Amino acid sequence: MRASIVSEHSHVPLKEYALGQATASEQIRKLRSDDHPKTKKSKIQDALTDVLAIPAYPINTLLHPLVRKFCSVMNPKVDLPRSFNTLKALLLSKCSTVQKATKKALEGICSKPSITCDCWTDKSMKHSYLGATLHCIDKNITLRRFFGLKELEGSHTRFLLRRKTEELLAEHGLKKECLQDYHRLW
């Protein structure tokens, strides 16, 4: 689950590299601010969710008694979630918010996007990933780039890579037919 998430400060789906445009993070902040006014509690929860999304940072770390004690010393009024499932729900909620912001940003593209894919394995040689960058021009004639990540299991055949690429596109409301020369990729 966490492998499908990437962003400039944390892991979220489809990181956006925009030139002269609002970044995905700014769009997410706007979505959040439209949903509800910012209270201190919601700001703390947002910050906690950002910590949960740090790459290679185990969620269970926030359940450790010493981390909980540290947070309590910093601010005794902060009540950290006490279960893995609650922390996971916070992370999934952020993932959903980012996906909505990404889908909204992709609605404004006026050209057929191109895609660049690459796969790699982490240092432990136990986890492999497919990275896909979507390149497109928006209605303001601005180059936009979105990055997505999928964990791969099994042999890296062209069929697996194609299926994972299509899954990544579908998660963000795109179909393979919307891409330039998609059939030439496979």
- Quickly count: other Cβ atoms within 10 Å of residue 13's Cβ: 24
Task: Write the DSSP string, 13-67.
Answer: SSEEEESSS--HHHHHHHHHHHHS---HHHHHHHHHHHHHTSTT--GGGGGSHHH
**pLDDT at residue 177, as a whole number:** 65
- Return the closest-CA partner of residue 135 out of 119, 148, 153: 148
pLDDT in tens, the chain (186 residues): 333 333 333 333 444 443 334 444 554 555 455 555 678 888 888 888 888 888 778 888 889 999 999 999 998 888 889 999 999 898 888 888 888 888 888 777 777 788 888 888 877 777 888 888 888 888 888 888 888 888 888 888 889 988 998 888 888 777 766 665 555 555
Give me the amino acid identity at 81. Answer: P
Helices (H), the chain: 24-35, 40-52, 65-74, 84-107, 158-171, 182-185
